[in-house]
Structure 1
């Protein structure tokens, strides 16, 4: 399984880097929607949508994305506040209460609430190919946390993080992710990939908080899969499951990062 995961990653990573640093803005927006749209399809399957309702939902979602791009829409401030409220309040409550996706209209709204902010973040955090390093630094944080959690959890994991949601995750994985992220932030700061007006002593706590948001995004998708009785969101990516399985943490981190940056531009 690990070998398959690595081989798939070796194919996907160059594709992602090429898109990030080469694609012009319209093509990047389309490429980003392809990623997010497939994840939305996988989410809709776990939510029990099927047939005309599912494809109508995906068609309407794609039409909204296309119109948003053509009109140059961005998320208003109130929507960004809603993003923070969702990921910092509602999502932890969802995990604590372990609600199920039993009401399809509500599930469709939930899909939009999670995935549209992620798509807007892909676009707004990378307006041109020259801005690719800033977005790569954010995505890299999630990837580093994910890899560190995987190996530290396998090596030292005994105390389970959330056994009723994801039995394979442990607190050792979380601690390993936090340690790795600190080292990663120091590195990318030295490389100049992060262009924010925060000293390192302020940036590190923010990165650690984002690591916990990353864990939260991972756990939320794990609960959706557990409630739906499936192991993976799909089988599109050998060794990895589905696209949603690969970007579950990114969905949360990119949305929260973009919301915080929007608020900082407004109030600072």
Structure 2
């Protein structure tokens, strides 16, 4: 299993890195479009669409993303779009998690599919826009989610006592959430006052925009909020899988499960990061 995970991760990096560091934002936009369409296929299967309809759902999300790309290019959407996505994630995420796995299948199938399509579309649009801003900005958001996850994993294993959501994800603890938040704060300060100040970066990072362009307490609260929302994204997908008795969203990535398993925490964080960054007037 470990060998599979490592090999899959290396293949993914070999595909991702050239698109990530390409001078043009288009290769990354197209690669992530394929990724989001695949996640859409997995979402539809978890929510009751079999076979061909699931493939058509994923293709429909790809068409929605491609249509947005053709209509808008990589121009930044109005800031209110990101704030609307943030509001939906905060209120909708809290409502879904409060209901638990038993309540999710009771929602109508069209509503569940529409919510998934909107979440994936907004995340793709935010990722494409983040890449258009700059590699440093894009990487800072990715690394926030990765740090929250890694620090929470090790903090939970070391200090975990109180379960966070045992009916949804028994392995998660409150101690893991807190260590994840601490890891994000340490990363944010190191990036904003180290990397951004002393290295030749192509754009401001998320941390610079939140910790240096805003009042420090506001920036700290924003990073804590984003760390918490990465947990919400993770728990939300776990809730859906538990509701249908699935361990992974698919088996497309050997040793890792499915694409949705890898991007679940990114789905709320990217639109929310763009919303919070809009207060600092990205240039």
Report deviation, 1:224.
0.5
Distance in 2 (alpha carbons) for counterparts of 1:144 and 1:84: 21
Where in structure 2 are the equivalents of 1:21-60 lying within 5 Å?
Answer: 21-22=21-22, 24-60=24-60
1:173 pairs, out of 169, 172, 176, with: 176
- Deviations, residues 231-256 of structure 1 (Å, cap 9, x unaligned): 01111222221111111111110021
Quick check: 1:118–1:254 contact (8 Å CA) kept in 2? yes
Report deviation, 1:4.
4.3
2:96 maps to what in 1? 94
Distance in 1 (alpha carbons) for counterparts of 2:153 and 2:253: 18
Where in structure 2 are the equivalents of 1:157-196 lying within 5 Å?
Answer: 157-189=160-192, 190-192=194-196, 194=205, 195-196=208-209
User: Per the alignment, in what secondary structure is the counterpart of residue 171 of structure 2?
Assistant: strand
Distance in 2 (alpha carbons) for counterparts of 1:4 and 1:37: 24
Where in structure 2 are the equivalents of 1:1-268 lying within 5 Å?
Answer: 1-2=1-2, 4-22=4-22, 24-72=24-72, 75-76=77-78, 79-98=81-100, 99-101=103-105, 102-127=107-132, 131-189=134-192, 190-192=194-196, 194=205, 195-196=208-209, 197-198=213-214, 200-262=216-278, 265=281
Change (3 A) 1:15 1:52: closer
User: Per the alignment, in what secondary structure is the counterpart of residue 126 of structure 1?
Assistant: helix
User: Per the alignment, in what secondary structure is the counterpart of residue 265 of structure 2?
Assistant: helix
Report deviation, 1:75.
4.5
**Tell me, which stretches of 5 or more residues in structure 2 are unaligned?**
197-203
| Root-mean-square deviation over aligned CA pairs | 2.2
Quick check: 1:186–1:200 contact (8 Å CA) kept in 2? no
Report deviation, 1:35.
1.4
Structure 1 window deviating more from structure 2 (23-32 vs 243-252): it is 23-32
Report deviation, 1:212.
0.2
**Tell me, which stretches of 5 or more residues in structure 1 are unaligned?**
none
Q: Which has the higher relative contact order, 1 or 2, with Cα contacts under 8 A spaced 6 or more apart?
A: 1
TM-score of the two chains, using structure 1 as the length reference: 0.89
Distance in 2 (alpha carbons) for counterparts of 1:175 and 1:82: 27
Distance in 1 (alpha carbons) for counterparts of 2:7 and 2:160: 25
TM-score of the two chains, using structure 2 as the length reference: 0.85
Structure 1 window deviating more from structure 2 (226-235 vs 9-18): it is 9-18
